């Protein structure tokens, strides 16, 4: 039985797939299995998967009709045999020591999470989960994550960059929701965090998350508001299952404020006149669930950096708010670029 099962959903990523699989085959820890789930690719990805299967017995390939990334990951979970499971997207890659993490977890740990790099063209931005070498999330911090998926750890709401005890996922029946078109990782992590006995954070950076401009997350999609609505529905199902009273209400309202910001970010990236972007955001602000969340959420539950924005929305200054929001995004990108340029110059 392998120590670690690596599940890789594959869909039309022939230009990146070799880099991904080679990084897994080159792990220092050899006691792993690599499960490539071809999700109905129409490029050369299926044959690349098969060639790796023929070349190395640790590579197992599943071919299925296109059903989405959630169904692909679930298919991998169903056949995995390792003590631990991790997920790697087929356009990403990992460091050679990533699999060693599976050797260092005690029996009471169900999730071990580690940092990652966001990989831009010629630039890498590190994201660490903690300041100490190792940190364990106590119950109150885990609960805060459930309240607000924008916790320092929760900002990286990716199923990747973590390893999960396989028996834990099976016993708690934790799966990805195929009906959720975007944000499926967040729903998966809510259930995983809620049921985990202990979560361990590692300061090491093992995962490399490739920032692809054409990916589903970064690409403008006019159906995104409807997709967010489905995600909200699944989030509410989770909250109603495990939380009641004021806690239930506050979790839902803070989630809607986060979602409103996600919508604004999405419209910010859209190729349309700013007046049309503001018009769309005004439309969302008139939707009862967003309007109620903005106007009734206690201000101390809102992150400090967003309080001015919420105050503007409460006064119906949608245009001013959106312009401020867009300026903040632009300014942040300029700061990051300046810092990265400075690092590049220093390294030359």
Strand partners, 114: 202
pLDDT band at residue 152 using 50, 70 and 90 as cut-offs: very low
Smallest Cα–Cα separation from 200: which of 133, 125, 117, 118? 133
Model pLDDT, residue 301: 79
Domain boundaries, the chain: 4-210, 224-336
Per-residue confidence (pLDDT) for residue 331, from 0 to 100: 83
* Statement: residue 338 has pLDDT above 90: no
Distances (CA, A) of 314 to 166, 259, 288, 297, 302: 46, 16, 13, 11, 13
Give the 3-state DSSP-derived string for 74-122, with helices as H, strands as E and coil as C. HHHHHHCCCCEEEECCCCCEECCCHHHHHHCCCCCCCEEEEEEEEEECC
- Whether 153 has a pLDDT exceeding 90, the answer reads no
Q: Cα 35–41–46 angle (5° rounding)?
A: 55
pLDDT digits (tens, 9 = 90+) for 83-95: 999 999 999 999 9
* % of the chain at pLDDT higher than 90: 56
Q: Cβ neighbours of residue 169 under 8 Å, at least 6 residues apart?
A: 77, 85, 175, 192
Highest mean pLDDT among 35-39, 135-139, 148-152, 248-252: 35-39
3-state SS assignment for residue 15: helix
Tens of pLDDT, residues 89-117: 999 999 999 999 888 777 788 999 888 99
**Topology of the domain comprising 4-210:** Spore Coat Polysaccharide Biosynthesis Protein SpsA; Chain A (3.90.550)
- How far apart (Å, rounded) are the C-alpha atoms in residues 114 and 163? 9
Measured distance CA(118)–CA(116) in Å, rounded? 7
Work out the pLDDT band at 120, boundaries 50, 70, 90.
confident
Backbone torsion region of residue 307, taken as left when φ is above 0, otherwise alpha when ψ lies between -120 and 50, otherwise beta: alpha
- Determine the Cα–Cα distance for residues 201 and 137; give it in Å rounded to an integer: 7
Q: Could you give the percent of the chain with pLDDT greater than 70?
A: 86
Q: Which range has the top average pLDDT, 149-153, 218-222, 232-236?
A: 232-236
Kindly indicate the confidence band of residue 223, based on its pLDDT and cuts at 50, 70 and 90: confident
What is the mean predicted confidence (pLDDT) over 139-164? 62
What are the backbone dihedrals phi and psi of residue 258, each rounded to the nearest 5 degrees, phi first? Answer: -60, -40
> Residue 300: is it exposed, middle or buried by C-beta count within 10 angstroms (0-12/13-18/19+)?
exposed
pLDDT of 346 reads 52
Spatial distance between the Cα atoms of 169 and 113, rounded to a whole number of angstroms: 15
The whole-angstrom separation of Cα 294 and Cα 168 is: 37
Residue 89, pLDDT score: 96
Find out whether 7 and 62 touch, Cβ atoms under 8 Å: no
Confidence of residue 143 (pLDDT cuts 50, 70, 90): low
Global confidence as pTM: 0.88
Which of 20-24, 139-143, 175-179, 281-285 is least confident? 139-143
Tokens of 274: 């700013």
Q: Is the pLDDT of residue 305 over 70?
A: yes
Burial (Cβ within 10 Å: 0-12, 13-18, ≥19) of residue 331: exposed
Average pLDDT value for residue range 120-127: 84
- Residues 306-333: what's their mean pLDDT? 90
pLDDT of 221 > 80? The answer is: no
> Average per-residue pLDDT in the chain?
86
């Amino acid at each position: 039985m392998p120590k670690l099962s690596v599940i890789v959903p594959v869909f039309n990523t022939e230009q990146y797939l070799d880099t991904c699989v080679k990084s897994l085959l080159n792990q220092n820890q050899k006691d792993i299995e690599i499960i490539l789930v071809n999700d109905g690719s129409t490029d050369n990805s299926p044959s690349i998967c098969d060639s790796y299967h023929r070349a190395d017995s640790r590579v197992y390939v599943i071919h299925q009709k296109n059903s989405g990334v959630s169904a692909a990951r679930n298919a991998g979970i169903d056949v995995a045999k390792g003590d631990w499971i991790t997920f790697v997207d087929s356009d990403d890659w990992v460091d050679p020591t990533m699999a060693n993490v599976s050797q260092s977890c005690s029996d009471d740990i169900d999730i071990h999470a580690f940092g990652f790099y966001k990989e831009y063209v010629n630039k890498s931005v590190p994201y660490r989960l903690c300041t100490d070498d190792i940190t364990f999330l106590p119950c109150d911090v885990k609960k805060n994550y459930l309240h607000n998926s924008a916790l320092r750890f929760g900002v990286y709401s990716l199923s990747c960059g973590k390893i999960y005890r396989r028996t834990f996922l099976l016993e708690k029946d934790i799966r990805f929701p195929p009906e959720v078109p975007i944000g499926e990782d967040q729903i998966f992590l809510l259930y995983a965090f809620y049921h985990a006995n202990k979560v361990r954070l590692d300061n090491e950076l093992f995962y490399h998350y490739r920032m692809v401009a054409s990916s589903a997350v970064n690409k403008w999609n006019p159906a995104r508001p409807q997709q967010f609505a489905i995600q909200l529905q699944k989030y509410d199902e989770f909250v109603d299952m495990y939380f009641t009273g004021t806690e239930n209400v506050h979790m839902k309202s803070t989630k809607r404020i986060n979602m409103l910001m996600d919508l604004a970010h999405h419209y910010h990236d859209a190729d349309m006149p700013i007046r049309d972007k503001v018009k769309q955001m005004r439309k969302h602000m008139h939707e009862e669930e967003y309007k109620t969340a903005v106007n009734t959420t206690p201000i101390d539950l809102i992150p400090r950096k967003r309080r001015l924005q919420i105050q503007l929305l409460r006064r119906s200054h949608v245009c001013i708010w959106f312009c401020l929001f867009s300026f903040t995004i632009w300014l942040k990108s300029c700061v990051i670029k300046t810092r990265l340029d400075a690092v590049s110059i220093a390294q030359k």
